Structure 1
Amino acid sequence: MTSRWVPYASTPGRLLSQLFSDAVVIAWTAIWVFVGVAVHSAVATIADFGYRVESGANGVAGNLDSAGDSADDIPLIGGSLAGPLTAAGDAAREIAGAGATLGVTAGWLAWLLALAVAAPPILALMMPWLYLRLRFSRRKWTAVTLASTAAGEELLALRALANRPLPKLAAVSPDPAGAWRNQDRIAIRGLAALELRAAGIRPAR
């Protein structure tokens, strides 16, 4: 966890909080994905019904067409019998077309409703989590990079003088500001370590 490229803290407390937040985000996402899948499955049954109507109506239309063709061969009354059968076949094809339209529309609606139900709560939690994780990663990368040089350590020590509580500064040196001005490397390293720990980074030994 000490690498600047790893987006996790190296101090136990911060690391545990990050792992807990990761688990919460994963569980929350899994719950809403499951809800979205359930919504999609429920609406998709309407699409399946539409496609079944299309298939059945096309079958009926085919049978009526065949019956009409056969009736048309009957002498004298063939034309009278074939006309209604052909009209019924055309009506069955219209029903098949309506079923196909219902299937396509319900299929798209299933996806849209699933996304509309699942995406907002997932994004509502994931976006702040992602923002905080990226901010921490940037802060860690900067701090670890600074800590690798003497000048960077001095800058971290100066930030510690400005930001850390007085008792922690006094624990490093009785006169932390004077030690920083006098280039006391031990005190500077101790002050820089305070700033690294505040950023969730365990200082190198």
Structure 2
Amino acid sequence: MRIYAERPGRAGLQLLADLLAAGWIWLTVVAARTVHDFVLAMQQPARTLAGAGESIRGAFDNAARTAANVPFVGDDLARALGAGTGAGDSLVNAGREQMEAIARVAFGTTVATVLLGAMPVLLMWLPLRVRYARLARSAATARAVDSDLLALRAITRRPVRSLLRVAPDPAASWRRDERAVVHRLAALELRSLGLRAPRTPPD
């Protein structure tokens, strides 16, 4: 599959377009990572909440263990302080749930940023590059065999004004197998793809 043209001017433009497309996609990825980090930074309050819950849970656990050693009322005090431990657990769970939710939002935002940024470029640039590669490959294959098919393709694809510069009646000349005209028509089609003309000159 031929990706780039043989003529330097056309090949340079194709390379420039490829670099611009790659650069745009790279910028899109960088922007997506920036958005991802920005959204993840919103986890800090949730981390603070979870940390506070762990501190409260630890404080009430220690207090419950200490209270259990108090004579007569130790068990009752430990059970009462156990409610504080449960409150700490609730804060920890709430903080972790918020962090997980923010992480999901960050991931979804990243994917959406990449799709919205890169998809338009891919939808316009990639089909054009694939189409060119196919056309150039088939044209190069036809050039290696004969000029007639390329000449016919030029007649069906090139603008009339360009065809008339080759011959007053290019279709009739092609039917009469006028080799000089056929060669020029083939060269016209190849030139439109940035490829070199057939090597064999007309007789």
- TM > 0.5 between the two? yes
Task: Establish whether residue 141 from structure 1 lines up as the match of residue 137 from structure 2.
Answer: yes
Alignment of 1:1-12 (within 5 A): 5-12=1-8
The residue matched to 2:101 in structure 1 has which SS? helix
Task: Establish whether residue 64 from structure 1 lines up as the match of residue 60 from structure 2.
Answer: yes
Task: Establish whether residue 16 from structure 1 lines up as the match of residue 17 from structure 2.
Answer: no
The counterpart of 1:202, out of the listed 186, 196, 199, is 196
Tell me the percent identity: 32
Distance verdict in 2 for CA 1:199–1:95, change over 3 Å = same
Distance 2:134 2:44 in 1: 50
Specify the alignment match of 2:184 in structure 1.
Answer: 190
Deviation of 1:168 after TM superposition, in Å, equals 5.4
Specify the alignment match of 2:113 in structure 1.
Answer: 117
Distance 2:160 2:54 in 1: 84
Alignment of 1:11-50 (within 5 A): 11-50=7-46
Native 8 Å contact 1:32 1:122 kept in 2: yes
Native 8 Å contact 1:61 1:90 kept in 2: yes
Specify the alignment match of 1:53 in structure 2.
Answer: 49
Native 8 Å contact 2:60 2:84 kept in 1: yes
Native 8 Å contact 1:8 1:137 kept in 2: yes
Superimposed CA distance per residue, residues 82-134 of structure 1 (whole angstroms, 9 cap, x where no aligned partner) = 23321111100000000110111110101111222332121112211011111
Amino acid at match of 1:202: R
Question: Which runs of 5 or more residues in structure 2 are unaligned?
Answer: none
Specify the alignment match of 1:156 in structure 2.
Answer: 150
Task: Establish whether residue 107 from structure 1 lines up as the match of residue 84 from structure 2.
Answer: no
Distance 2:198 2:79 in 1: 93
Deviation of 1:62 after TM superposition, in Å, equals 2.8
Distance 1:101 1:76 in 2: 40
Specify the alignment match of 1:91 in structure 2.
Answer: 87
Deviation of 1:189 after TM superposition, in Å, equals 2.6
**TM-score of the two chains, using structure 1 as the length reference:** 0.83
Distance 1:54 1:166 in 2: 74
Distance verdict in 2 for CA 1:178–1:113, change over 3 Å = closer
Task: Establish whether residue 180 from structure 1 lines up as the match of residue 174 from structure 2.
Answer: yes
Deviation of 1:26 after TM superposition, in Å, equals 1.9
The residue matched to 2:110 in structure 1 has which SS? helix
Distance 1:21 1:140 in 2: 17
Count of aligned pairs: 199
Superimposed CA distance per residue, residues 30-49 of structure 1 (whole angstroms, 9 cap, x where no aligned partner) = 22222211111111122354
The residue matched to 1:148 in structure 2 has which SS? helix
Question: Which runs of 5 or more residues in structure 1 are unaligned?
Answer: none
